[in-house]
Amino acid sequence: MPVAEQVMRHAAIRPHRLAVCGPEGDLTYAGLAKRIGDGARHLSGQGVGRGALAAISLADPVALLTAVLAADLAGATPLVCDHAWDREQRARIMDAIPADAHIVAPLPAAEGPPAGPGASPAVREHAGSASPAVRADAGFVSSAGRACSPSDRAWACFSSGSTGRPRAVVRTRASWTASFPHLNDLAGIGPDDVVLIPGPLVSSLYGFAAVHALATGATAVVPGRWSDASLTAHLRRSTVVHLVPHRLPAVLETLRETGGPLRTAMVGGAALSADARALAADAGVNVVSYYGATELSFVAVDADGSGLRPFPGVEIEVRTAPGQSLGEVWARSPWLAEGYLADAAGPLRRDGDGWMTVGDVAEPYRPGEVLRVRGRGDGAIQTGGATVVPEDVEEVLRKAPGVGDIVVIGSPHPHLGSVVTAIVEGEGASRAALEAMARGALDAAQRPRRWYAVQNLPRTPAGKPARGLVAARLAGGDPGIRRLI
């Protein structure tokens, strides 16, 4: 079932329940349902229906969610884009991933009867019966009118930022929505909850959290970005928070100072420290942490602090090459993505038996044991709100004198989340020369803040530098990696 239809059903049952709270104001489920229905009729009238890809780039998170769900109701596939891209970035990305529609302003109300609670069938009928039309300048194609299917493409988003290599992951409806009940069971989330989602919805984690909350019938608090100033007000009404690990301490500290009804923290991404769990326990907050990837969705979950174990429906293998102490994480489950739009290159690989990997690294694993992930495969670095693609930095710095090869990773930072860190292969590289090249060719967020050198980088069987193994060795204090000064 489309998430938009679930929102319509909640609106019919509890029309006055708050659905979304954003920086521009709040919407009840009845109000959100009307906007979704009107937006779906507008898109259908433009020929945007089944088979169409709708690129959505909106700053306001409520307008973004409305457009996403309107596209969903019309049968199109929403592609969530970053509104902060400049014109050149946007043009480069859309050239690589051509869309049938570009939504850059909030959807207007469509003409005709209001699409309040219970109007979903009429909206779908309207979308399905729109006269076939193709608009030459945008390639709009109308809906074919068939019923929605679990195999429909229902969501697409970018996995690792926008610099240099656009890579959009697309998911089927079943892989996107069928995991919702499992997450509700693990975290105890229901329609009476208020879920704080304190980050940009262009992030797959935060975007999933918002859509999941609405499908559940809960209230989604979507400020659009992290804000220390507004955290206190949000925590006064939130019962659940869904966020990344490095944001949890600030939430717990604010909660300790001000109090509030928060009882559950959903934490996705990197491993969560024992100290963070202890702080949460002291605050009376239950932590459910999980590991996954945009391409794999949920892989493993830790609901009680005992360690990561397979998420419901997931099989896990860690495939270790001969002579290696760490291996690649492979998963097989109903939650796997379909792949990348436009056949873009990326870390996602699959075998002939339904298993997929993005190259994440873990210790050897057997069924029934705890999964111990040691490094991320694609290496995308979140630093101070910016996303840095390591390959873009490596391409520049590899040209510096004395550099045999180079690996760029993210190192943990207490305030920024991560900082860009470069590990250079070769003994002849000069930090001064590397920094000069970085200043001349990289954006501020892309420039490494920490520099190391190693005689030989570990490599994959294909001969490429093994980014995850480098990160694990650095984190483990490997004496063969020295600081460049």
> What are the DSSP calls for 367-434, one per residue?
TTS-B-EEE-SS--EEETTEEE-HHHHHHHHTTSTT-SEEEEEEEEETTTEEEEEEEEESS---HHHH
3-state secondary structure of 278: helix
The size of the chain, in residues, is 485
CA–CA distance, 190 with 194 (Å, rounded to integer): 9
C-alpha 28/C-alpha 7 separation (Å) is 11
pLDDT band, residue 459 (cuts 50/70/90) = confident
Backbone angles phi, psi at 438, to 5 degrees: -60, -45
CA distances in angstroms from 168 to 14, 81, 338, 339, 423, listed in the order given: 35, 9, 11, 8, 28
160 pLDDT band, cuts 50/70/90, is low
Q: Of all helices (H) and strands (E), which one includes residue 39?
A: helix 29-45
- Dihedral angle of Cα 148, 60, 336, 321, to the nearest 10 degrees: 170
* Tens-digit pLDDT profile for residues 52-89: 999 999 999 999 999 999 999 999 999 999 888 888 87
Position 378 pLDDT exceeds 80: no
315-319 and 327-332 beta bridge pairing: antiparallel
pLDDT of amino acid 313: 97
| pLDDT tens profile 252-297 | 999 999 899 999 999 987 567 788 889 999 999 999 999 998 899 9
What is the H or E stretch that residue 169 is in?
A: strand 168-172
- Crossing angle of the two packed helices 61-74 and 204-216, in degrees rounded to 10: 70
Bridge partners, 55 (sequence order)? 79, 102
pLDDT of 251 higher than 90? yes
Query: Looking at residue 377, what is its pLDDT?
Result: 62
- pLDDT given at position 33: 97
Model confidence at 152, in pLDDT bands (50, 70, 90)? confident
Q: Kindly report each contact of residues 179-182 with a partner whose C-beta sits within 8 Å and lies 24 or more positions away, as own/partner.
A: 179/297, 179/298, 179/311, 179/312, 179/313, 179/334, 179/335, 180/212, 180/215, 180/216, 182/298, 182/311, 182/312, 182/313
Name the band, by pLDDT with cuts 50, 70 and 90, for residue 391.
Answer: confident
Read off the pLDDT of each residue in 122-141 and give the average, rounded to a whole number: 29
Please report the pLDDT score of residue 335 as a whole number. Answer: 96
The pLDDT, as a whole number, for residue 146 is 46
Helices of type H across 165-273? 173-177, 180-187, 204-216, 228-235, 248-258
Res 229 pLDDT > 80: yes
What residue ranges define each of the domains in the chain, with the CATH number in brackets? 3-282 (3.40.50.12780), 295-375 (2.30.38.10), 381-483 (3.30.300.30)
Tokens coding 445: 């967020």
